[in-house]
């Protein structure tokens, strides 16, 4: 605004003091007529125009010529020269008469001269009145005409006594304006436009500003504890924080101090961010949300500056909540004695500043810090000590009842068919987190819309669950008949071993339709209930089920294929964990061979502890023994039930998909059901 005011003032002064009056323009023919009539006083000839000034018009008294009669009378009355000479001696001179007048002048003239105001004679005062009058008179006589090609113009001007001169037009101002002012002005406007669009903190000078997004309380988008399900224990833990933000005097009157920080720990998708937003919604306070990676930038010292700015802004809006997602991005353990730990680390500097801010933070201000991470084991111990994140809340995967409650929340706005059983869906999705259940519900709605159905049916939810587990179905993928038969017997071997193995998860579905990236078929096994412990025989049953596919190929075709690569990888991992982690080997029983306290190279952990070559040899022998025994048992069982293998494989080749009810018709009841 300051520069705009100065520019406007200059334009106004230029208009009133230095503006050039408009000169009238005449035709070239009229100009030639004026030259012929000797009415032009002077001209200035430029390359494209001619500027001229007319002569002053004579007054009427001077123009009027005396008549003949008056001339004759004057001649008659004119005396001779001799008489004139005599009269000169008698007539007093004009100078003497003037002197007499001066002498006879009254003394008041001198007095009047003395009382003239001084400001009227001030030499530096501009006489605008006289200047304006003179300029108006000159303006009336000025003219301009467009120059035409005329070879006789100079000769005519010379013959009529016109003062003429030439003038080259100077274009420096125009060139300066178009070559410098306009390009620089355009660049300046572009610069201002681009930087004005940037958010605060994106500019070079504001790089130390916090990137936290502030979510103010909005009744229409308010998240409450009613929107959170399946993590009842975690909700109970954070309700105390809400109660403190609503009624801080209830706690401060007794001298109690609420924990400054609450750390939400749990697998991805379990609802840590949703729980933090529910706390903000219930407490009706501002909610600062940012990620741990938002602190670190390419510039040195930016992370620490953003931490300081975040806490400063939070104190101004207290009471409020600061939510730092993915806290492990800046809260990892500092290098210590780790290899290659020297030098400056921007992340560690940011962590140090965060520790300082949390340590010097007044608990009575009403600012609660909520952190979320799925890797609590990598956090720095100083971050978890009392006075900082001194309360850890586990946000685990929901159980059966929790999954059912989550399904109820996510199907609120969906039109469901009567055959949809949420309890059964919860049983078919063991290990699913809240985000995965939300995705299943949305995917079921999309599948129903694709069928142009008015309601979402149970089959839509089941297909959505399969899509989450096995991947996208590829119906258009062409497989030759030989490979198709191999896949059918492979999946039949999985299904038969999984169906008849005691304690194994029941087989819900078998398909030879390609899904996902590389799966040419799949066997869906889901537990009927949540499992937290597994016995030795149950782990062996899992290994047998994984090896049943290759055993089915060998029993039928007397050779094996590459289709069992993923099965072998998973089976080998289970066998090794039985020996090294769970201590289930008979030769080295009850020994854990994994050191959780050490990290591998560059601090990557956990890794297998150092051990002797003899122990390594025993681990390899025991692993091979478990895999070999399970595979031989699978082959013997399939050879004994080759009719069932053939029947299931032929059904798969015909239908491509077999459901649980059809599996029971082909294979009969499970061993557990027989025992019952």
Residues with catalytic roles: 491
Cα(584)–Cα(578) distance, integer angstroms: 5
Please report, for the chain, how many H helices and E strands are present, in that order.
29, 15
Cα(385)–Cα(391) distance, integer angstroms: 9
Cα(372)–Cα(265) distance, integer angstroms: 6
Secondary structure, 3-state, 430-497: CCCCHHHHHHHHHHHHHHHHHCCCCCECHHHHHHHHHHHHHCCECCCCCCCHHHHHHHHHHHHHHHHH
Residue 559 CA: distances (Å) to CA of 525, 543, 554, 649, 656: 26, 20, 5, 17, 23
List, as one string, the DSSP characters of 633-660. HHHHHHHHTHHHHHHHHHHHHHHSEEEH
**Dihedral, 464, 466, 470, 471 alpha carbons, nearest 10:** -20
Q: Which residues contact 289 (CB under 8 A, 6 or more apart)?
A: 212, 213, 214, 215, 273, 276, 277, 323, 325
Residue 522, phi then psi, degrees to nearest 5? -160, 155
* Strand runs labelled E in 183-304: 213-215, 261-265, 287-291
Residue 185 CA: distances (Å) to CA of 180, 578, 611: 8, 74, 74
Cα(676)–Cα(674) distance, integer angstroms: 5
Cα(287)–Cα(148) distance, integer angstroms: 78
Residue 145, phi then psi, degrees to nearest 5? -145, 145
């Amino acid at each position: 605004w300051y520069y705009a005011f100065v520019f406007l003032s200059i334009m106004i002064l230029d208009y009133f003091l230095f503006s050039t009056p408009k000169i009238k323009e005449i035709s070239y023919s009229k100009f030639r007529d004026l030259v012929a009539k000797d009415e032009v006083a002077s001209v200035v000839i430029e390359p494209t125009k001619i500027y001229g000034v007319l002569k002053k018009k004579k007054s009427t008294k001077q123009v009027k010529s005396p008549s003949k009669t008056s001339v004759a009378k004057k001649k008659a009355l004119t005396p001779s020269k001799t008489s004139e000479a005599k009269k000169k001696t008698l007539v007093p001179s004009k100078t003497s008469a003037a002197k007499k007048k001066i002498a006879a002048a009254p003394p008041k003239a001198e007095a009047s001269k003395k009382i003239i105001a001084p400001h009227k004679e001030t030499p530096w005062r501009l006489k605008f009145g006289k200047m304006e009058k003179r300029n108006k008179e000159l303006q009336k006589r000025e003219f301009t005409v467009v120059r035409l090609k005329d070879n006789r113009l100079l000769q005519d001007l010379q013959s009529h006594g016109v003062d003429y001169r030439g003038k080259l037009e100077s274009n420096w101002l125009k060139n300066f304006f178009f070559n410098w002012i306009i390009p620089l002005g355009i660049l300046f406007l572009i610069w201002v436009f681009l930087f004005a669009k940037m958010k605060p903190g994106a500019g070079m000078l504001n790089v130390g500003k916090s990137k936290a997004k502030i979510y103010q309380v909005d009744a229409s988008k308010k998240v409450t504890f009613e929107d959170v399900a399946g993590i009842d224990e975690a909700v109970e833990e954070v309700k105390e924080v809400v109660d403190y933000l609503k009624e801080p005097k209830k706690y401060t009157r007794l001298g109690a101090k609420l924990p400054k920080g609450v750390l939400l720990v749990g697998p991805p998708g379990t609802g840590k961010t949703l729980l933090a937003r529910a706390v903000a919604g219930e407490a009706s306070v501002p909610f600062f949300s940012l990620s741990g990676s938002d602190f670190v930038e390419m510039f040195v010292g930016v992370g620490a500056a953003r931490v300081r700015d975040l806490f400063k802004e939070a104190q101004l809006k207290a009471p409020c909540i600061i939510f730092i997602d993915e806290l492990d991005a800046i809260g990892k353990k500092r290098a210590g004695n780790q290899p290659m730990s020297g030098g400056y680390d921007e992340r560690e500097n940011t962590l140090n500043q965060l520790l300082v801010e949390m340590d010097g933070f007044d608990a009575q201000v009403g600012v609660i810090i909520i952190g979320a991470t799925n890797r609590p084991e990598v956090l720095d111990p100083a971050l978890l000590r009392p006075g900082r994140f001194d309360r850890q809340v586990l946000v685990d995967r929901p159980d059966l009842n929790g999954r059912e409650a989550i399904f109820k929340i996510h199907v609120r706005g969906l039109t469901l068919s009567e055959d949809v059983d949420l309890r059964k869906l919860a049983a078919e999705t063991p290990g699913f987190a809240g985000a995965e259940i939300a995705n299943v519900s949305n995917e079921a709605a999309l599948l129903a819309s694709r069928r142009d159905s008015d309601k979402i049916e149970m089959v839509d939810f089941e297909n959505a669950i399969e899509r989450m587990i096995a991947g996208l179905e590829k119906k258009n993928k062409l497989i030759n008949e030989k490979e198709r038969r191999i896949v059918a017997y492979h999946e039949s071997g999985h299904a038969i071993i999984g169906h008849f193995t005691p304690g194994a998860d029941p087989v819900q579905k078998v398909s030879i339709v390609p899904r996902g990236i590389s799966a040419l078929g799949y066997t869906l096994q889901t537990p009927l209930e949540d499992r937290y412990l597994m016995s030795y025989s149950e782990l062996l049953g899992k290994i047998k089920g994984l090896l049943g596919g290759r055993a089915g190929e060998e029993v039928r075709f007397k050779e094996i294929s590459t289709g069992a690569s993923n099965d072998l990888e998973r089976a080998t991992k289970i066998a090794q964990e039985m020996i090294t982690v769970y201590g289930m080997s008979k030769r080295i029983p009850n020994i854990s061979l994994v050191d959780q306290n050490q990290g591998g190279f560059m601090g990557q952990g956990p890794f297998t502890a150092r051990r002797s070559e003899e122990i390594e040899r025993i681990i390899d022998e025991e692993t091979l023994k478990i895999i070999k025994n399970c595979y031989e048992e699978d082959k013997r069982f399939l050879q004994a039930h080759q009719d069932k293998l053939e029947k299931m494989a032929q059904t798969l080749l015909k239908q491509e998909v077999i459901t649980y009810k059809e599996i029971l018709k082909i294979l009969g009841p499970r061993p557990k059901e027989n025992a019952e």
